[in-house]
Amino acid sequence: MEKHEMVDSLGLAESFPAPAADRWRKEAEALLKGAPFEKVLMTPTHEGFALKPLYTRSDLEALPQTAELPGTGLRTRGDSAAGYHRRVWRISQELFEPTPSALNKVLLHEMGRGQDELNIWFDALTREGRGPASGVHSSTGRCGVSAATAEDFAVLFKDVRLGAVSVFLRVGAAAAALGALFFRQARTSGCEPESLRGCIDLDPLGLLAGQGGVACGLSSLYDQMEALMRFGLKRAPCMQMANASGNVYHDGGASSVQELGCVLASALAYLREMELRGLEPAVVAPRIRLSLSVGSPFFIEIAKLRAARMLWNRIQEIAGIPEDGRSCHLHARTGLWNKTRFDAHTSMLRVTSEAFSAVLGGCDSLHIGAFDEVVREPDAFSRRIARNIHPILSEECELTKVIDPVGGSWAVESLTDEMARKAWEHLQAIEAAGGMASALEKGIPQGWVKGTRAARHRDFHRRRDVLVGINQYPDASAGVPEPRVIDYAAFAKERAREFGADSARAEAGAKAGALDAVAKAANSAGRIELAEAAAGAGATLPELHVALRGRRDATPPIEPIPFRRLAEDYEALRLAALAAAESGAGRPRILQLNIGPSRRYRLRADWTASFFLVGGFEMLAEEDFEDTAAAVVAVREAAPPVAVITSDDETYAAVLPGLAKAVKEAAPDIVLLLAGNPGENEAAWRAAGVDDFVHVRVNNYEVNHGLLARLGVINGAPEA
């Protein structure tokens, strides 16, 4: 007997009829008892569309991309028909150490434990094309390695087989010079550029958006991009030479559609600029990496990565690139927007969820942030915890065994389509403004990000959006991880001495001639090769940068998009409270006047304590008081600057006026609050002595900030 015949013989089809969406909705509306369906069950998002409570097969009927197979069409389901069977995503952990020798030890250690893309950040001076002798001590070696000579690169990549590992160089405005030093080191170590893989992270518009200006101008950066692209075509075909990154937008508070729209607009601008310089889109597009940050909304972030691949392939299609010539390398990193300094270990959970989203979305390389990365440069322990999430996802979760695990999901496919449509609208708005550079000059992306950031903060301050450990469920005993103590001033002096020694060893005439040849060469593949030769003759990073940067234009400064984590407002409250404790004044205290039997109001009492713990207050909340007299005795003994009355509504009606009056008589200067919405009793209870009320509708951040300011613990107005 066939399976379907067995089912029919049991009569299951009649007993369990197929559910209908319209019937489900009627049942749901009946349970809502008149409350509007869209308001209660539809979840609005900062992306501009709402999440449905239920998705059905009908949501896919108008989505043609769902008929595509992995590796075909717009590549929504991935670039390869084999998915991760062919190649697992690259483990691309960002690595920071101040010296080439220290970073070399980290590179070798991480490679020996599975990392297969070396994601190397240079310090700010190096990324600007300046050497450690520039005198700006505070930036030397901070948040990246200081490497400015061929000798530095030899130390940095000692014992690293560059042909066997991908390399992602975070180069800033000194892309061509750092690229030349890297290619020279590869050749010196016996690795020809043809075998190199990875990316030179040249992102002119990302630099402009994050910094508000580019010292050498956009034209210079595009000239460097052209030189690198031409070198890549001739000598390093597996290297990407540009990176359109959304990190600056995501970490500034942008929505996912805004981030994606800006990334696509930047990548499109790079295609156009290279075409103006004689390079066809078909040869440029594969050499542009797309980078996206991944945040908390699980399904939305999956949809973002899938939509990114879809839309980038659509742009390539419009540019005339045939289907078999299109590709998309999608790099993802767990975002910084939602990471915290307090209770930092909760970030282990956040990055795990975000990495899961990135893999399900089909990333090609992935950085998973260490739990302490917003506090200090990660150490071996925190790097290990983050790095090991990769094999957990690939080996223990077996995500490499299924091709496109979310393909066909009614929710994910529908969200991917909505994400793509909204991001395309943002791309069109940028195009209508004259392209990404022009849009940044006009402040259009900045306006989007600023508006979304303000909306996110409003929801966060009212605790509609939650960061566990920050605005909900705080661990009052949790502090901030101790920073790694590095004497950057002493380090800068030592690096300046080493840099001067390396420079002095160069033969002046040979170096000058080599640099002159670089400066006179056109933006061709040969220009990077000439720069390699100059590096071999002793040319340093600043000298190479000047020779390679080409023309300089006066790119007008713009309003930058600031880096701003969501938790910073609350962290400022708790840091102010800790500072008060360390000064000898003690942490600001609140006495919780729990009136009557605990069982009647325990949920409200716990909620109230949490309400103020997120502001850094010490809560005296353990004791319950039988009556007004006991509460007044506690007020006199503890002498707190703030007290909050907590009980059930029935008890309030019976004792509140007398209790408030007695507390105020015992402590006239006390700030007296009540936990709960007073409703029509507000005027009477205020007259009795209650100063204010706390409940789910008030702004949690503003209340906490206002109390701390009233107590002299913090200055200034609350953040909007």
Q: Does residue 472 lie in a domain region?
A: no
Distance in angstroms (rounded) separating the CA atoms of residues 311 and 428? 12
Which residue(s) pair with 592 in the sheet?
644
Top pLDDT among 130 and 245 is at: 245
Q: Does residue 261 lie in a domain region?
A: yes
Q: Does residue 525 lie in a domain region?
A: no
Whether the CB-CB separation of 192 and 529 falls below 8 Å is answered with no
Distance in angstroms (rounded) separating the CA atoms of residues 282 and 229? 12
Query: Does 52 share its domain with 96?
Result: no
Q: Residue for token digits 């043809």?
A: 194
Pairing mode, strands 624-625 and 642-646: unpaired
Q: Does residue 540 lie in a domain region?
A: no
Q: What element of type H or E holds 584?
A: none
What single DSSP character describes residue 50?
E
Distance in angstroms (rounded) separating the CA atoms of residues 24 and 283? 52
- The model's confidence at residue 720, banded by pLDDT at 50, 70 and 90, is low
| pLDDT at residue 1 is higher than 50 | no
**What is the structure's pLDDT at 697?**
94
Phi (first) and psi of residue 332, to 5 degrees: -125, 150
* Confidence (pTM): 0.92
CATH number of the domain within which 234 lies: 3.20.20.240
**What is the structure's pLDDT at 9?**
63
At 173-203, the pLDDT tens digits run 999 999 999 999 999 999 988 999 999 999 9
Q: Which of 421, 453, 565 is nearest to 46 (CA)?
A: 453
- The model's confidence at residue 126, banded by pLDDT at 50, 70 and 90, is very high
Domain boundary (461, 477, 506) is at: 461
Top pLDDT among 672 and 492 is at: 672
* C-alpha distances out from residue 335 to 204, 249, 357, 525, Å: 21, 10, 12, 35
Sign of dihedral through CA atoms 56, 61, 66, 68?
A: positive
| pLDDT at residue 717 is higher than 80 | no
| pLDDT at residue 10 is higher than 70 | no
Distance in angstroms (rounded) separating the CA atoms of residues 710 and 560? 34
- The model's confidence at residue 552, banded by pLDDT at 50, 70 and 90, is confident
CATH number of the domain within which 647 lies: 3.40.50.280
Q: How many residues does the chain have?
A: 720
Top pLDDT among 513 and 271 is at: 271
| pLDDT at residue 599 is higher than 90 | no
Among 57-71, 255-269, 433-447, the range scoring the smallest mean pLDDT is 57-71
- 3-class SS of residue 662: helix
Domain residues for the domain of 44 are 3-60
Q: Label each residue of 380-411 as H, E or C.
A: HHHHHHHHCHHHHHHHHCCCCCCCCCCCCCHH
Domain boundary (422, 444, 461) is at: 461
Q: What share of the chain has pLDDT > 90, as a percent? A: 72
Q: Label each residue of 543-554 as H, E or C.
A: HHHHHHCCCCCC
Class of residue 533 by CB neighbours under 10 A (exposed 0-12, middle 13-18, buried 19+): middle
Whether the CB-CB separation of 419 and 304 falls below 8 Å is answered with yes
Class of residue 288 by CB neighbours under 10 A (exposed 0-12, middle 13-18, buried 19+): buried
Q: Which of 379, 356, 345, 425 is nearest to 97 (CA)?
A: 379
**What is the structure's pLDDT at 37?**
82
Q: Which of 559, 302, 374, 339 is nearest to 449 (CA)?
A: 559
Distance of CA 140 to the CA centre of its chain: 25
Query: Does 54 share its domain with 68?
Result: no
* C-alpha distances out from residue 251 to 57, 119, 210, 294, 352, Å: 35, 19, 10, 10, 18
What mean pLDDT do residues 531-536 have? 92
Distance of CA 173 to the CA centre of its chain: 22
Q: Does residue 532 lie in a domain region?
A: no
At 292-306, the pLDDT tens digits run 999 999 999 999 999
Query: Does 193 share its domain with 311?
Result: yes
Distance of CA 427 to the CA centre of its chain: 21
Query: Does 40 share its domain with 103?
Result: no
Buried b (16+ CB within 10 A) or exposed e, 462-475: bbebebebbbbebe
Residues ≥6 apart with Cβ < 8 Å to 584:
none
Class of residue 579 by CB neighbours under 10 A (exposed 0-12, middle 13-18, buried 19+): middle
**Amino acid letter for position 417:** D
Query: Does 585 share its domain with 451?
Result: no
At 688-705, the pLDDT tens digits run 999 999 999 999 999 999
Q: Residue for token digits 């670089």?
A: 518
Query: Does 140 share its domain with 27?
Result: no
* C-alpha distances out from residue 255 to 135, 305, 455, 595, Å: 39, 13, 10, 45
Distance in angstroms (rounded) separating the CA atoms of residues 469 and 480? 12
Pairing mode, strands 90-91 and 365-367: parallel
Residues ≥6 apart with Cβ < 8 Å to 612:
590, 619, 644, 704, 707
Query: Does 367 share its domain with 446?
Result: yes
| pLDDT at residue 141 is higher than 80 | no
Q: Edge to edge, what strands does the sheet with 242-245 contain? A: 90-91, 365-367, 329-334, 288-294, 242-245
Class of residue 666 by CB neighbours under 10 A (exposed 0-12, middle 13-18, buried 19+): middle
- 3-class SS of residue 699: coil
Q: CB neighbours (10 Å) of residue 108? A: 14
- Mean pLDDT computed over every residue of the chain: 91
Q: Which of 614, 667, 669, 676 is nearest to 644 (CA)?
A: 676
- Number of domains making up the chain: 3
Query: Does 13 share its domain with 51?
Result: yes
- 3-class SS of residue 607: helix
Query: Does 51 share its domain with 97?
Result: no
**What is the structure's pLDDT at 308?**
98
Whether the CB-CB separation of 93 and 115 falls below 8 Å is answered with yes
Distance in angstroms (rounded) separating the CA atoms of residues 155 and 188? 12
The token pair at 466 is 């939650």
Domain boundary (461, 490, 513) is at: 461
Q: Does residue 477 lie in a domain region?
A: no
Distance in angstroms (rounded) separating the CA atoms of residues 368 and 642? 43
| pLDDT at residue 137 is higher than 60 | no
Among 116-120, 426-430, 593-597, the range scoring the smallest mean pLDDT is 593-597
**What is the structure's pLDDT at 616?**
94
What mean pLDDT do residues 109-124 have? 95
User: What torsion do the CA atoms of 282, 283, 285, 291 make, to the nearest 10 degrees?
Assistant: 160
- The model's confidence at residue 498, banded by pLDDT at 50, 70 and 90, is confident
**What is the structure's pLDDT at 504?**
67
At 442-485, the pLDDT tens digits run 999 999 999 999 999 999 999 999 999 999 999 888 778 887 77
Residues ≥6 apart with Cβ < 8 Å to 15:
none
The token pair at 120 is 């190397």
At 31-40, the pLDDT tens digits run 888 888 888 8
What mean pLDDT do residues 136-158 have? 86
| pLDDT at residue 417 is higher than 80 | yes
Query: Does 360 share its domain with 372?
Result: yes
Alpha helix positions (H), 598-696: 602-613, 628-638, 649-666, 682-688
Distance in angstroms (rounded) separating the CA atoms of residues 562 and 462? 23
User: What torsion do the CA atoms of 51, 57, 62, 67 make, to the nearest 10 degrees?
Assistant: 120
Q: Does residue 273 lie in a domain region?
A: yes
What mean pLDDT do residues 583-602 have? 90
Query: Does 96 share its domain with 222?
Result: yes
Query: Does 674 share its domain with 626?
Result: yes
**What is the structure's pLDDT at 482?**
82
| pLDDT at residue 523 is higher than 80 | no
Q: Does residue 294 lie in a domain region?
A: yes
What mean pLDDT do residues 322-340 have? 95
User: What torsion do the CA atoms of 9, 10, 14, 16 make, to the nearest 10 degrees?
Assistant: -140
